[in-house]
A = this chain, B = another copy of it.
């Protein structure tokens, strides 16, 4: 959610009259809360596979957008969407087949303990519902998140999303802990993270707050893409459970094969969460999301209240979700994420031999973080250079962004159809831009 590379009218460069008119119209119609990427915003009109095209017909390599995960405008997904939208679109208070077929297929991709699924339209709604369910089941309210976590935009979830910045105050029952950072931290990553979680639990108890959940993005995207060593989540999961709280895995970003090690980010850590939330790539851009949970958690929740989401789990969303799973299977995208991800990290390590500014390369599958530093010994963040690199890559028609507490981590999350050739183009462009920037 870092916006270091956000458009700023005062600093804007190279903007055509046409795009300037669009930006003015946008501010007039949408108001001040919307942000654009880049000093020189991109005006998009078409997408296909890993490519996005601007109004002049120029192609941009998409190395950032994890939503169109099986490729922009994938024909199999579009066909399923179009067919179902022409056939039936209604809600869950009538019996329909699609939601059951999809629920069955989705749940078969999760550990058997997680046997119920509830559908929403956005990851924010899924996390909001997960917190409701966790409160109902545990009787607690306390939630632990990482220092730069992002979990969504509803009021309840924004108040546990510190990456949204100072404009939003965290709720009194929320505690933040340092993210599990193998690059900047010391000691055993998992044990250190668990010790922070235990300290947060102790602090909650001292304030009379009963813990409800530890809520983490299992690849810690907004904290700067923190993936290693696999397994580091296990001690923290044990700690929250020991305190009577639930382990909620937010798979909105890492889910659906991106890590190249199965469908879910938590799998790399050898844990079975109590609740899993998912969204963004689930419908390849179609607004759909879900929460999956152990049945006993929903038992108390479902007896105390009903839940109805007008659009959630509608036949069109379920047909789209099915088609996305088809493509992940048919095109072996998990294997591709694993193989091309490894190839890309190898290439980045090659670049690190030439560019001192590259301090760390990490990630899993096609979710990769590259941390830039002005000095490898002090690990001083190269924040300004990262912004220059992001904007420089944009001028080379490569779409990327940055994350982390100092906005100095390239957040690399291309569509999963990303190829070695695409990786080569990306690597060559990074090399060129970094060479142009000179020494950090």
Chain B residues lying within 8 Å of A129, measured Cβ to Cβ, are: 153
Tell me whether A305 and B90 are in contact (CB under 8 A): no
5 contacts between A and B (CB under 8 A): A45-B88, A45-B97, A67-B311, A124-B309, A125-B153
- A95-B36, A304-B167 known; A287 and B121 CB under 8 Å? yes
Among residues of B, the one whose C-beta sits closest to the C-beta of A302 is B32
Interface hit among A73-81, A192-200, A236-244, A370-378: A73-81
Tell me whether A155 and B156 are in contact (CB under 8 A): yes
Among residues of B, the one whose C-beta sits closest to the C-beta of A285 is B89
Could you give, for residues 120-161 of chain A, a 1 whenever the CB lies within 8 Å of some chain B CB and a 0 otherwise?
Answer: 011111001101100000000000000000000111101000
Interface, chain A (partner B; CB < 8 A): 1, 3, 19, 22-23, 25-26, 28-37, 41-47, 52, 65, 67-68, 72-73, 75, 77-78, 81-82, 85-97, 99-100, 103-104, 107, 115-118, 121-125, 128-129, 131-132, 153-156, 158, 164-165, 167-168, 279-280, 284-288, 293, 295, 298-299, 301-311, 313-314, 316-317
Chain B residues lying within 8 Å of A307, measured Cβ to Cβ, are: 33-34, 153
Chain B residues lying within 8 Å of A168, measured Cβ to Cβ, are: 305
Copies in the complex: 2
Tell me whether B73 and A43 are in contact (CB under 8 A): no
- A123-B310, A125-B154 known; A36 and B86 CB under 8 Å? no
CA distance A47 to B314 in the complex (A): 13
CA distance A78 to B89 in the complex (A): 11
Tell me whether B128 and A154 are in contact (CB under 8 A): yes
Q: How far is the CB of A294 from chain B (nearest CB, A)?
A: 10
